[in-house]
Chain A
Amino acid sequence: MQLALSEEQEMLRTMARDFLSDKLPKTAVKEIEESEAGYSPELWKEMAGLGWMGLAFPEKYGGSDMSFLDLAILLEEMGRACLPGPYFSSVVLSGFTILDIGSEEQKAEYLPQIASGEKIFTLALTEPSASYEADGIETKAVAEGDNYIISGTKLFVPDANVADFMLVVAKTDKGFSLFIVDAKSEGVSHTVLKTIAEDKLCEVVFDKVKVPKDNILGEPDKGWDEVEKIIQRGAVAKCCEMVGCIQQALDMTVEYAKDRKQYGRPIGSFQVIQHYCADMAIDVEGTRLAAYKVAWMLSEGLPCTQEVAIAKAWAGEACQRVMALAHQIHGAIGVTIDHDLQYYTRRAKAAEVSFGDASFYREVVAKEMGL
């Protein structure tokens, strides 16, 4: 048992942090958030050039053959930098799914496109039920000749506004199936939702969308097992982003507490502020340990239902405690729109409810405990 990162992993972290602090000052984050696309095509190309999209995919699909644990480091840095855009959708939600259950042809066709950044993928899973459980899915796919016809409404679909392809989860004859759907298909329409994290979550309507049978991903009717894996990977990846998010909030808060003077001394010299910061640090470290443990377990292919539930339930609530204290210590300046803290506040809240909140995972843990 050991917690140290390898030399390559440390290099990856340094490289990612340097790149993102150089290319993504908060002025750029703001500009991207306010743009219609919600991502910067130039930055996207540069990230692809650094090999980030294909980091954890096999070399034969244009990847770098690194692990999910390596990806965790990158995700932490993205969380720290508040990177907007479809990285999570394309790589974590879609790329890994294709890698996991795609046919050889599908992998050979789509993964290099994801790895090169040439095409953007996303996942269309959740619906107006806002549930990550099977009974929340009503979108149907009905077989008709060589095609399926997909009808239904998906909600909270990330980056559908820029996606070239969507992995769509739909009810089929005897279960659930996943489909690779060309986002330009006739009958697909989207509306961008205005959200707390200013990310591009969309409503996507599928109105009798014709999808060739060849575009089924994995076995027909047996897709829900993979959906659970997607949610699990999403939760782990989200935890990693959250570590970066609250670590940066803590770092900013400590710096502020050292600089800000009241009563003739830095406020960080007051014990109440020191203890707030200590409480934040305890939460950040707990979140990091749990997030890296599950990232490691995923990397190793170990079963980790309970561990992921623990990590995400913990991270969701720890983030809220950390951000509450970060704001309290920053005082009024922290609630201004021009201060950087708000980027983290908004993202931490969205992350809490994405891929299962604490209540959802507490029930998972309860079941795992045999209750």
Chain B
Amino acid sequence: MDFRLSEEQEKFRQEIRDFLEGEIKQGLWEPKCDAWIMAHDPEFTKRVAQKGWIGLTWPKEYNGQGRSYIDRLILTEEMLRYGAPAACHWFADRQIGGAIVHYGTDEQKKELLPMILRGEAYVGLGMSEPDAGSDLASLKTKATEDGEEFIIDGQKTWTSGGSHMNWIYLVARTDPEAPKHKGISEFFFRTDLPGVNVVPIVDITGEAHFNEVFFENVHIPKTSLIGERNKGFYQILNQLDYERSGMERLMANYPLFEALIKYVKETKRKGQPLSKDPLVRAKLAQLKIELEIGRLHMYRVAMVMDEGRAPNWESSMSKAYGTAFEQRLAGAAIEIIGLYGQLSPESKWAPMHGMAYHSYLSSKGYSLQAGSSEVLKNILALRKLELPSQ
């Protein structure tokens, strides 16, 4: 047992910090909460790619860095700490590249992986549908074979980054006759094809980071199929473990936490800094305690991945824990700020650029996306604790 990071890892962390601080100093972007999923900045993504920080964990034979998941966790932790606009490459780096490495053909690897590594693939995840949320296997979007092509018809929803994506990773039904889990396949294709129509959904923050995506008679080459036909559901279960695994499920609002600490030190109430109020101190200390417990969960998940295992119950645990923490953080931030906490970012009176307002509203979705907390607790109960399903 050893909780220490290696000297190289500490150096790597410093290198990332220097890079991100340099970017902020140059005024290239401003730290934001939720930037990993909401802030699309193709130029930033290209600069990250040039550093070799996309595909960090991919095997070297595919021009990845062959580094550990702990290394990647350090990278993502710092991206989140600084609220860096990493949304363009996040999904591709986190799970799609890995899926292609794992399930793709040699041709697909040759064609698709370099594009991701260059920071040119902005990938949307086409999973949920209006009638297929937690019960993903009920999806209805069809992929019908037609000569050398598949024809896609149907609708996806809650597609994050849909309005920025140029590629989509889509799960669709390829065998309508088979039992529902056994007739699904995975596809990866460009979204600038005729028949693809993206309609943004405005969420309760007033922003539109997720979307409905309609597919009407969309022709894609057969080579878009990833992995085995009709085995897509089983492939995606594994990918979901990775989707849930990361620090973005704990630290998406880290800029708010930092700003809040600064705010209570600088803001006076009744003639003394808010930070001297025992209730405020207790609340913030509790958040710090919960954050650090969450970080331990996240590092454990990365260690599991470094052992070569998919982090199944571990990432279910860390995501359920982490998203609940973020919701408490956002709620506590508004409580601490008091009346000012309700002000939207547009108000000149809003402290901390209205971050608390944004995070509070945004965090309501955290325990739903990428597996609701209820689904995650089912996984924990059935797979870790081996409770009976009936």
Would you give the shortest CB distance from A54 to chain B, in whole angstroms? 22
A1: which B residues are within 8 A, CB to CB? 2-6, 9, 70, 299, 303
List, in ascending order, chain B residues with CB within 8 A of A278's CB. Answer: 320, 376-378, 380-381, 385
Identify the stretch in A88-96, A107-115, A201-209, A357-365 within 8 Å (CB) of chain B at 4 or more residues. A357-365
Are B381 and A274 in contact (CB-based, < 8 A)? Answer: yes
Specify which chain B residues have a CB less than 8 angstroms from the CB of A4 in the assembled complex. 1
Select A281's contact among B6, B281, B380, beta carbons within 8 Å: B380
Which residue of A is nearest B5, CB measured? A1
B387 pairs with A258, CB closer than 8 A: yes
By beta carbon, the residue of chain A nearest B379 is A278
Q: Provide the residues of chain B in CB contact with A258, threshold 8 Å.
A: 386-388
| A274 with B378, Cβ < 8 A, contacts A363-B282, A371-B264 known | yes
Q: Which residues does chain A contribute within 8 Å of B292, judged by CB atoms?
A: 290, 307, 310
Contact B388 A314 (CB under 8 A): no
Least Cβ distance of B322 to chain A in Å?
Answer: 10
Q: Which residue of chain A is the closest to B2 with respect to CB atoms?
A: A2
* Chain A residues whose CB sits within 8 angstroms of the CB of B280 once the complex forms: 371
Over the window 99-123 of chain B, the binary record of Cβ atoms lying under 8 Å from chain A Cβ atoms (1 yes, 0 no) is 0000000000000000000000000
The answer to whether the Cβ of B47 comes within 8 Å of any Cβ in the partner chain is: no
> With an 8 A cutoff between CB atoms, is B216 at the interface?
no
Nearest-CB distance from A356 to chain B (Å)?
13
Docked-complex contact A289 and B297, CB < 8 angstroms: yes
Instruction: Determine whether A366 belongs to the interface, using a CB cutoff of 8 Å to chain B.
Output: yes
B381 touching A275, Cβ below 8 Å:
yes
- Chain B residues contacting A6 (CB-CB under 8 Å) are 1
Q: How many A-B residue pairs have CB under 8 A?
A: 139
Partner of B288, one of A271, A273, A275, A369: A369
Contact of A338 with B by CB under 8 A: no
Chain B residue numbers with a CB within 8 Å of A297 are 3
Query: Which range contains the number of B residues in contact with the other chain?
Result: 35 or more
Cβ of B54 under 8 Å from chain A = no
Stretch of A77-85, A147-155, A189-197, A261-269 at the chain-chain interface: A261-269
Interface hits, B291-342 → A, CB 8 Å: 292-293, 296-297, 299-300, 303, 317, 320-321
Residues of B within 8 A of A307 (CB): 292
Q: Is B265 an interface residue (CB 8 A)?
A: yes
B385 & A3 in contact (Cβ 8 Å cutoff): no
Return B156 CB to nearest CB of chain A, in Å: 27
From 61 to 93 in chain B, residues with beta carbon under 8 angstroms from any chain A beta carbon are 70
**Docked CA distance A69–B2 (Å):** 10
Contact string against A for B residues 1-35, beta-carbon threshold 8 Å, 1 for contact and 0 otherwise:
11111100100000000000000000000000000
Residue A331 is within 8 A (CB to CB) of chain B in the complex: no
Q: Which residues of chain A have C-beta atoms less than 8 A from B3's C-beta? A: 1, 293, 296-297
Within 8 A of B (CB), among A278-337: 278-279, 281-282, 285-286, 289-290, 292-293, 296-297, 300, 307, 309-310, 313-314
Query: Within the complex, what minimum Cβ distance (angstroms) separates A217 from chain B?
Result: 31
A34-79 contacts to B, CB under 8 A, are 69
> At the interface, yes or no: A254 with Cβ under 8 Å from chain B?
yes
CB neighbours (8 Å) of A310 from chain B are: 288-289, 292-293
B275 at the interface (CB under 8 A from A): yes
Q: Within the complex, which residue of A281, A296, A309 is in contact with B1, where a contact is CB–CB below 8 Å?
A: A296
Question: Does A145 sit within 8 A of B, measured CB to CB?
Answer: no
The residue of chain A having its C-beta at the shortest distance from the C-beta of B320 within the complex is A282
A2 and B1 contact, CB distance less than 8 A: yes
Least CB separation from A295: chain B residue: B1
Residues of chain A lying within 8 A (CB to CB) of residue B70: 1
Chain B: CB-nearest residue to A279: B377
Counting chain A CB atoms within 10 Å of each CB, which of B3, B5, B321, B378 scores highest? Answer: B3
- B285 and A362 within 8 A (CB): yes
Set of chain B residues within 8 Å of A5, measured between Cβ atoms: 1
A257 at the A/B interface (Cβ < 8 Å)? yes
Chain B residues with CB under 8 A of A273? 387
B349-390 to A contact mask, C-beta < 8 Å, 1/0: 000000000000000000000000010111011101111111
From known contacts A275-B377, A275-B381, A296-B3, infer whether A282 and B317 are also in contact, taking CB-CB under 8 Å: yes
A274/B4 in contact, CB under 8 A = no
Which B residues are CB-close (under 8 A) to A282? 317, 320-321, 380
Distance A371 CA – B385 CA, assembled complex (angstroms)? 40
Q: Assuming A310-B292, A364-B285, what are 15 further A-B pairs, CB within 8 angstroms? A: A1-B303, A3-B303, A5-B1, A257-B387, A258-B387, A269-B387, A271-B378, A278-B377, A278-B380, A281-B380, A290-B292, A310-B289, A310-B293, A313-B286, A362-B286
Closest 5 CB pairs of A and B: A274-B381, A278-B377, A365-B285, A278-B380, A289-B296
